[in-house]
Structure 1
Amino acid sequence: MAGGKRAKIRMTPDEVASHLATNFKVQVATVGRDGAPHLVTMFYALLDGKIAFTTYRASQKVLNLRRDPTMTCLVEDGVEYAELRGVALYGRGLVVEDPEPRTKVGMVVGSRMAGLPVPAIGEPIDPAVAAGIEQVLAKRVLIVMEPDSVVSWDHRKI
């Protein structure tokens, strides 16, 4: 894509933040032992403006990140070419064992997965629901995306 057209479709920092805040699925790529990408889709929440999600402690992505923290995240939407929008974040995936931020993210993502009303980060939820989510979170860690660079596009600007 020519530099001029590329510049026209780039999102502003505010547009990037809004795009990340209004979506909830992210494609996550980590580097496998053999160097091949390991790609999965995860539900996420924003923790201090950063993509964050929980996953099983023994999952392949966690094993990959402990060996090599390189991670890429893609949040995209749109169906027709003229509607395509996306934000690609390149950087590191931090494996966080601390239960406090894991619980904050887990309550948001767990509510969404259960089809319940989705709270804001840190907002209280029904105690019975919270107890069930906490039980699931016990076997999970938090992954936080620490981006080094961000690439964005919004074809609606063309």
Structure 2
Amino acid sequence: MAATQRRGRRIMMTAEELDAFLATERTCRVATVSPEGAPHVSALWFVWDGSSLWLYSLTRSRRWADLRKDPRIAVVVDSGEEYGELRGAELSGTAEFVGEVPRVGEPVPELEGVESLFARKYFGLEALPHDHRHAWVRLTPEAVASWDFRKLPRG
């Protein structure tokens, strides 16, 4: 996978823990930067295939426009309410666009498994209904930092 985490090793997730966490969480926050340098963060649904994070983004969004001009991206997935239960991961790298824009359902072998995962996770369906407004962005992380505060000693 990506660069190893230097700080917080005591609370970082193992590869197995990270896979399980990313497979079950539902919402992430996506950070992009505009051509003028303004940061933008937005919430989005995603799926994790074990090596890449797949984002199904509106093609008429600021996020999409930002990534078209500058494909650098950072994504945070986190959960927990109380301090001792906080968990999360930050994944960063370069966005890749996969499939047609917008997605209308043309056969794309690379998207078959991803779209099945997404359809089951969010809609309880076997096939993803295409609305002609979204398209796929893949983030294969170059760097990952994770944390699981449940690993901290109590007291």
| Aligned match of 2:17 | 15
TM-score by length of 1: 0.76
Contact 1:102/1:141, CA 8 A, preserved across alignment: no
Runs (4 or more) in structure 1 with deviation over 4 Å come to 101-104, 110-114
Amino acid across the alignment from 1:94: E
Distance 1:104 1:57 in 2: 21
- 1:60 pairs, out of 54, 58, 62, with 62
Cα shift at 1:37: 1.4
Structure 2 gap segments, 5+ residues each:
1-5, 101-105
| Aligned match of 1:147 | 141
| Aligned match of 1:157 | 151
| Aligned match of 1:121 | none
Task: Map 1:127-138; keep pairs closer than 5 Å.
Answer: 130=127, 133-134=129-130, 136=131, 138=132
Distance 2:118 2:7 in 1: 36
Residue identity over aligned pairs, in percent, reads 29
| Aligned match of 1:86 | 88
Does 1:109 pair with 2:103?
A: no
Cα shift at 1:16: 1.3
Structure number having the greater helix percentage: 1
Structure 1 gap segments, 5+ residues each:
118-124
| Aligned match of 2:103 | none
SS at match of 1:11: coil
CA RMSD in angstroms comes to 2.4
TM-score by length of 2: 0.77
Change in Cα spacing, 1:112 to 1:35, as seen in structure 2 (3 Å) is: same
Cα shift at 1:40: 0.7
Contact 1:54/1:105, CA 8 A, preserved across alignment: no
Cα shift at 1:49: 3.1
Does 1:71 pair with 2:80?
A: no
SS at match of 1:7: coil
Cα shift at 1:143: 0.7
Change in Cα spacing, 1:12 to 1:47, as seen in structure 2 (3 Å) is: closer
Contact 1:53/1:109, CA 8 A, preserved across alignment: no
Task: Map 1:36-51; keep pairs closer than 5 Å.
Answer: 36-51=38-53
